[in-house]
Amino acid sequence: MVSTKTIKSSKSLLIDEYVQRLEQGEALLKDSPENLLEVVGILKSYGVVLDAYSVNLCYIANTQFLVLFPFFKYFNGEINPSKWVRYVWQDRINFEYAEYCMKSMFWHGGGGLDAYVDSPEFLAVVRQVIQAKFKYNPFMLGLNKLFPDYLPEHMRQMTFYSGLGQFWRVMSDIFLSLSDRYDNGEIKSIPDVVQHILDGLVADAARPITYTVEVRGQKYDIVPKSAGITFLMDTGVPYVEAIFFRGTPFPGTISYNAQAYQIPYDQGMFNYGALYADPLPIGSAGIPPTLLMQDMRHYLPDYLHEYYMERTRGEDDLKVKICQSFQKSMFCVTTAAVKGLAPHPLDTQDPQEKEANRAYLTNWLKRLIESQLITVNR
């Protein structure tokens, strides 16, 4: 009993410590030259990978909707023998991971996009698209009658393909420009990194998220601009919630056995997201983020690759090291998001505002303290 009490009190102490840190303009991740090198380097390769993911998600959403056998959905429309050979050899970006994130986001829901795809306006347009697409396909139309939610659900998923693709477009640009500025010597500390990301988020916060498809020359606005879906609140925040915090349980570490009750009933209690995941099993069976780490290994900047080579097993445990750096960088992104969403500027001197900020931050930290935060700062 004594020990649990001390753990509890040490936990609230830790929360206070991190809240103070944030108030003083620091990030969740400690500032150190190694951390900076790891974070910027990994965000550079993440930016490259996200760029590819984003392009592909948008391609799928725009051209592969209502296609039952999308054999070439990862080809981005460019089908030739050499690309074919590379894809059979799986010498390519693992777009499965992008889809995994999309499905995760779609499944967890939340935000304006999630609400909009349930609206009658959405359904009305989708019905038109289905009728247009399968004009000469009585089988699919019949199936649509028999299972009325089948194709609309598919289009909802396509909408999320597009939504996540557009979200990642912005993020990729932020990370790549961060790397450029670092190479120019403009980024010197972790707080600089956070500020750069924050600026990027703020700049695009109100950017509209839309989704338009074309069938037989006719354009359909599935998510029109008028729906008022915006970048930060309707894709960014749900993304952070679904991917950073909740995630889905990895079959490689968690039992799905219903009678074992390892997975909570309430999705809100899920803590399998990027900030929580254990980096050690990366590379093992049943750990989907391995795909992302594998993708990033191809685009590591030289300085980071050298840094990894000097540590532990060099090339042999590269994916685990990438994951550890990646988690660090995600804490920087989280810091930026926390700062951006704060009710008042964090350096405010107004006591009332300070109070409100403090309550807001403590709330975040209560969730974050259970994550890998302590480990990455050790």
Partner 1 sequence: MLSALILVPLLGAALMGFLPQKEPKTIARSVALAMAVSVLVVNIVLGFQFDPTVVGFQFAENIPWIEWIGLNYHLGIDGLSLPLIFLNSLLTVIAIFSSSKSIERPRLYYSMLLLLSAGAAGAFLAQDLLLFFLFYELEIIPLYILIAIWGGKRRGYAAMKFLLYTAFSGILVLASFLGLVWLTGASSFDYEFLRTQTLALDSQLLLLAPLLVGIFIKIPIFPFHTWLPDAHVEASTPISVLLAGVLLKLGTYALLRFAVGLFLEGWVVLAPWMAILAGISALYGASCAIAQKDMKKVVAYSSIAHMAYILLAASATTRLSITAAVFQMVSHGLISALLFLLVGVVYAKTGTRDVDSLRGLLNPEKGLPVTGGLMILGVMASSGLPGMVGFISEFLVFRGSFPIFPIPTLLCLVGTGLTAVYFLLVINKVFFGRLTESLSQLPRVRWIEHVPAFALMTLIITFGIQPSWVVHWSEVQAVALLTGG
Partner 2 sequence: MTDYLLQTTWIIPFYGLLGAILTLPWSLGIIRKTGPKPAAYLNILLTAIAFIHGSLIFNLIWTKPTQQLVFPWLTVADLNLTLAIELSPVSVGALELVTGISLLVQIYALGYMEKDWSLARFFGLMGFFEAALGGIALSDSLLLTYGLLELLTLSTYLLVGFWYAQPLVVTAARDAFLTKRVGDIILLMGLVALSAYGAGLNFSQLERWANTSPVEPLTAALIGLSLIAGPTGKCAQFPFNLWLDEAMEGPNPAGIMRNSIVVSAGAYVLVKLQPIFTLSPVSSDTLIVLGIVTAIGTSLMAIAQIDIKRALSHSTSAYLGLVFIAVGLGQVDIAFLLLFVHGIAKALLFMSAGSVILTTSNQNVTEMGGLWSRMPATTTAFVVGGAGLFAFMPMGVFWTFQRWFNGSWDVDWWLLAVVLFVNTLSALNITRLFRLVFLGEPQMKTRRAPEVAWPMAFPMVALTIVALIAPTAPIQWPFWLSPTTPLNLGEESIIQLATPLIALSGFVGIVIGATIKLDKAWARPTQMIWRFFQDLFAYDFYIERLYELTVVAGVAFLAKLTSWFDRYVVDGVVNLVSLATIFSGNALKYNVSGQSQFYILTILLGVSLLLWSVLNGQWSIVTNYWSSLLN
Alpha carbon distance 129, 123 (integer Å)? 10
Residue 4 tokens, joined:
């649990």
| Residue closer to partner 2 (CB basis): 93 or 187 | 93
Token representation of residue 127:
């019905």
Selection from partner 2, partner 1, none that 302 binds (CB < 5 to 8 A by kind) is none
Smallest distance, partner 2 to C-beta of residue 230, A: 21
Q: For partner 1, which residue of 312, 347, 363, 374 counts as binding (CB under 8 A)?
A: 312
Q: Taking the CA of residue 7 as centre, how many other CA atoms within 13 Å lie in the half-sphere pointing to its CB? A: 6
Cα–Cα distance, 257 to 202 (Å, whole number): 43
Nearest to partner 1 of 228, 281 (CB atom): 281
Site string for partner 1, 235-274 (x = CB under 8 A): ------------------x---------------------
291 binds partner 1 (CB under 8 A): no
Give the interface size with partner 1 as a residue count (CB under 8 A): 15
Q: Does residue 109 bind partner 2 (CB under 8 A)? A: yes
Q: Which of 278, 297, 341, 377 binds partner 1 (CB under 8 A)?
A: 278
Q: How many CB atoms lie within 10 A of CB 41?
A: 26
Cα–Cα distance measured from residue 72 to residue 61, given in angstroms and rounded to the nearest whole number: 13
- Asked whether the beta carbons of 226 and 199 are under 8 A apart, the reply is no
**Local structure of 211: helix, strand or coil:** strand
Say if CB 275 and CB 365 are below 8 A apart. Answer: no
Cα 298 to its chain centre, rounded Å, is 20
Which tokens is 36 given? 């900076």
Given a contact cutoff of 8 angstroms between Cβ atoms, the answer to whether 263 and 249 are in contact is yes
**Spatial distance between the Cα atoms of 160 and 117, rounded to a whole number of angstroms:** 9
Of positions 109, 208, 249, 281, contacts partner 1 by CB under 8 A? 281
Q: Do residues 271 and 246 make contact, with C-beta atoms less than 8 angstroms apart?
A: yes
DSSP code at position 347 = T
State the nearest-atom distance from the C-beta of 89 to partner 2, in Å: 6
Quick one: which of 22, 164, 275, 320 contacts partner 1 (CB under 8 A)? 320
Query: Binder to partner 2 among 23, 153, 221, 353 (CB under 8 A)?
Result: 153
Residue 157's binding partner among partner 1, partner 2, none (Cβ under 5 to 8 angstroms by kind) is: partner 2
Which of these, 165, 134, 173, lies nearest to 151 by C-alpha position? 134
- Residue ranges in 261-290 that form contacts with partner 2 under rule CB under 8 A: 263, 265-267, 281, 283-288, 290
Instruction: Report if residue 100 touches partner 2, rule: CB under 8 A.
Output: yes
Q: Residue 248: which of partner 2, partner 1, none does it interact with, CB under 5 to 8 A by kind?
A: partner 2
Binding site for partner 1 (CB under 8 A): 253, 278, 280-284, 312-314, 316-320
Binding site for partner 2 (CB under 8 A): 68-70, 88-92, 94, 96-97, 100, 106-107, 109, 143, 146-150, 153-154, 156-157, 248-249, 251-260, 263, 265-267, 281, 283-288, 290-291, 294, 297-298
